[in-house]
Copies of this chain bind each other. A is one copy, B any other.
């Protein structure tokens, strides 16, 4: 019987290696070495290199997705839901920096398999965000003059780029709590029902 934990062992090793060298520069032999097994063993658990990458996404993003979904299901207020989404994302990225790096790079790849994953699983994850926005607009706590998809992208982009600093570490590195607090202040202030900003076109 194949040890169930060897599957997880390989995924964990692969996540580290992909994060360090990127998917294309990572060799199967690198992953094998990191996992302290033979190259061939990997093929007893995965079909090929792409399969490993997709499995990483399935496992890690799947976990974040379902946890966030469950927590949100218990709430009514869109603002609380948004806070949960943000906290869950940032916590997960802080906890598993290797996965964060892999996701933030490889999920943008144009390969057919990645694209498919992005257009289904990942899109579903992001659409939670859009649903929260729409709900907030219905509840009249988020402004309705802005398009939910644009808000969704804005928030996700902000989350991703903010958490990316934890990996590249060239600039001042804020604690999780600080980052959450500041991001939430910034985003919510822009999102709440209020007087619209009026500003001239330059040039």
Contacts and interface: CB of A to CB of B under 8 A. Distances in A.
Nearest to A114: B22
A197 B184 contact: yes
A183 interface: yes
A5 to B, nearest CB: 28
Interface string A45-71: 000000000000000000000000001
A75 B202 contact: yes
A123 interface: yes
Given A84-B202, A157-B162, A160-B157, A150 B22 contact: no
Interface of A: 19-22, 24-25, 71, 75, 79-80, 83-84, 87, 101, 104-105, 108-111, 118-119, 123, 145-147, 149-151, 153-162, 164-165, 168, 170-172, 174, 178-179, 182-192, 194, 196-197, 199-203
